[in-house]
Structure 1
Amino acid sequence: MTRFKSILITSFMITLFGLSMSSTARTLQPERDIHPIPITVCFERWRPFSFIDQNGVARGMEVDLLKAAAKSINRSVEFTELPFKRCIANVKFGSTDFSLHVDKTDGLETFS
């Protein structure tokens, strides 16, 4: 029984040591700066997927998804709510990087 306890305690200590080393390695890595130029996203209001709340903040399921994706690559996202045709025009002329709620059509495929 004593041998079992010593093996158990040794295993536990090795596990703790390994966990502490992995967390130390993560904290020693330099934090990457967020890219200075945000990704610009345009959308037409479509609750609950994307909308601007009463405080002027973009909300919704698609907004949350894009924010999470941008965070994973250390980018920020800037959202604008506009009519659909204006969103498409902004993407076409380069003032917006991305537009939500776009289906694949011949007219839209020409500049994608």
Structure 2
Amino acid sequence: MRKLHIKKGDIVFVNSGEDKGSKGRILEVNPSKETAIVEGVNFITRRTKPNAKNPQGGMVKREAPVHISKLNPVDPDTQKPTRIHRQKDDNGRSQRVAKSGKVLD
């Protein structure tokens, strides 16, 4: 499994797909499938039976996973999508750095 360019809590920009051009916060990342769930992006509708949480049942909208290749982190300075690279810090640990030089971790 490779290291991902995004992680939970990042604000990302959607590059392609139905929600192209939108931004959202990452709620969950699945590294084995290389997907992420982004807040407010890629809604799907599911039919549910009545249960304790939803006694009426019916249609429920929720976010579906998006492939990480369609997501770019947003640069904290410019608020625009950016590419990142990895750089070692003083302690020898890898950290994510945006094109502007700002550390994302």
**Shared fold per TM-score greater than 0.5:** no
Q: Higher relative CO (CA 8 A, sep ≥ 6), structure 1 or 2?
A: 1
- The structure with the greater share of residues assigned to helix is 1
* TM-score, with structure 1 as normaliser: 0.21
Give the alignment's TM-score, normalised by structure 2. Answer: 0.22
